[in-house]
């Protein structure tokens, strides 16, 4: 994390990319355990924490809201999804098709976040020149 107000958007994008990376690992773990009896799928919670910190922001004060964010508290959480729900008799609740779609979606999100980080640094570089 970079400690400067110039990099506020980069820091938030970095946190989001970290959460996406963790979600990729969690989804891969779900896929690896698709045949494990009593395994319950896991997921990552990040977006609701980000939205909570952005609450009340609009386009005119978004920069101020991002500058005032507590990035140390903006972390992802791994949780067990629908622990009481099971699709199969063996107690496992992982649906391989859903996990593959989630994995592809998450990979696209990660690539978009990294692209946004690169774009932010390009704008900073252009401003410095």
Task: Specify the pLDDT at position 120.
Answer: 87
Element (H, E) at 103: helix 96-128
| DSSP tag of 36 | S
pTM for the whole structure: 0.84
The mean pLDDT of 7-15, rounded to a whole number, is: 87
Answer yes or no: is pLDDT of 3 > 60: no
* Contacts by 2-11, CB closer than 8 A, 24 or more apart: 5/67, 6/124, 7/120, 7/124, 8/63, 8/66, 8/67, 8/69, 9/66, 9/120, 10/117, 10/120, 10/121, 11/71
Averaged pLDDT score across all residues of the chain? 88
Q: Where are the domains of the chain?
A: 5-128
Answer yes or no: is pLDDT of 1 > 60: no
Answer yes or no: is pLDDT of 6 > 70: no
21: helix, strand or coil: helix
Largest CA distance in the chain: 63
The mean pLDDT of 108-124, rounded to a whole number, is: 93
Tens digits of per-residue pLDDT, 60-91? 677 777 877 888 888 999 999 877 778 789 98
Q: How many residues does the chain have?
A: 129
Task: Specify the pLDDT at position 64.
Answer: 78
């Amino acid at each position: 994390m970079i400690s400067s107000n110039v990099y506020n958007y980069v820091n938030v994008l970095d946190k989001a990319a970290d959460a996406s990376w963790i979600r990729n690992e969690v989804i891969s773990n779900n896929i690896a355990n698709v045949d494990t009896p009593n395994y319950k799928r896991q997921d990552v919670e990040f977006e609701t924490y980000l939205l909570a910190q952005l609450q009340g922001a609009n386009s005119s004060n978004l920069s101020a809201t991002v500058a005032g964010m507590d990035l140390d508290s903006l972390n992802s959480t791994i949780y067990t999804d629908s622990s009481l729900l099971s699709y199969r008799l063996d107690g496992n609740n992982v649906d391989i098709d859903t996990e593959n779609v989630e994995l592809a979606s998450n990979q696209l999100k990660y690539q978009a976040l990294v692209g946004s980080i690169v774009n932010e640094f390009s704008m900073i570089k252009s401003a410095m020149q």
